[in-house]
Structures are given as C-alpha cells and as structure tokens.
Amino acid sequence: MLERFGQEMPQPKTELHYKNPFQLLVAVILSAQCTDKRVNMITPPLFNAFPTPQAMAEATVEDIFGFIKSCSYPNNKAKSLKGMAQKLVGDFNGEVPSDLESLISIPGVGRKTANVILSVVYDKPAMAVDTHVFRVAERIGLTTGSRTPLETEKKLTANIPQELIPMAHHWLILHGRYVCKARKPGCDDCFLADICRYKAKTIK
C-alpha cells in the first residue's frame, strides 16, 4: 500500500496555504471541523491584518472574530488564536516550538494539531490523525480495531517507516478526501481496490 501511495502521490502536501510556521499553526487551528477551502479564503486578510504572533497577541478577540466569522466555531477559535499568539510571544519568543510537549501547551493546540506542525513544518515522524486518517487507515486495513485516534496514531507510527510518516499523513488525508470518502467510497477509481480489506467495496 505504501509503495502504491508513493507512486500515485510522490510529493503529497497539505492543502492549507501558508508561508511560515505561524501561519500554518493559525490555519490548522481554523481547520477544525472546517474545510481547507474555507480556511484558505479566510486566512489572506487575517494574515494581512496580523502578520506576526505579536500583532495577533495585541489584537482583541473581537478584532480576530471579524476575520474568521465565516468558519465553524468562530468565537472559540478567536479566543484560541489570541491565546496562542500570546503564548508564542510570552513563552517561545514568538516562534512556533518544535516539540510535542511545548506545542500542546499552547491554547487551541491539541495532539492532532501539534502533530501536523511537527510533520509539515519540522518533517518529524508525527502522525496527525483526523477523521480521514482514522477512517481510511481502518477501512483499508492499515489498522484494525482502533477505537481512538491515539490508538490509530500509535499503530501507524509503529509500522510505517519513520521517513515515510510525514508523507503517509498526507496520503491518508488526501485519499480519504477525494477517493475513499466516508459515505460513498470511490472503489472503482481506487488504486488500492485489489488489496484493500474493505468488505463493502463498490466495484462495478
């Protein structure tokens, strides 16, 4: 499966638009239960107004809310973004840290978000498990019987070569987003169909 993913998507990458670690952290926080397409519409004016952690830390929650109100849970996310920026400025000299413990100490940053930063920015063998990764890994048979995202993360990182984990994160997300969809998986167009363990395949 990994070989086939590599052939189909030799250079996978996040679909969130960003220019630096701070911008990616903002985008990932906004992406919770919100599409990447929507986030990419929101972030350009947001980054223009608050280009640095310092600028965002000095903004009011209401100021931030005005830029992100079209995404899901804007009130909570506005508070998280301000808290995140204040934490970066106060504890990390305005820089996005590169270790899990420091990242999850930041408001609005859970394990999944932290792993995205570690994987995408710092190219570390971290597996961020969102709904796509959780579903696809179990459905195609890379994991079996996982009940939580953490179980899935541990199984994937234990069995995928470390150098492939950052790419595997994107492979599973993109496969789940465009082919192995939740309600109607596109088995006819899937390059894994002949080795996938999904019992309810929809192959004509």
Give me the active site residues, please: 112, 130
The torsion defined by the Cα of 168, 116, 118 and 153, in degrees rounded to 10, comes to -60
C-alpha atoms less than 13 angstroms from C-alpha of 36 in its C-beta half-sphere: 10
List Cβ<8 Å contacts ≥24 apart for 15-22.
15/40, 15/174, 16/40, 17/43, 17/44, 18/43, 19/47, 21/95, 21/96, 21/117, 21/121, 22/52, 22/53, 22/88, 22/96
| Nearest CA-CA partner of 120 in 56, 64, 191, 173 | 173
What distance lies between CA 118 and its chain's CA centroid?
11
Buried b (16+ CB within 10 A) or exposed e, 113-125: bbbbbbbbbeebb
Q: Please tell me whether residue 50 adopts helix, strand or coil conformation.
A: coil
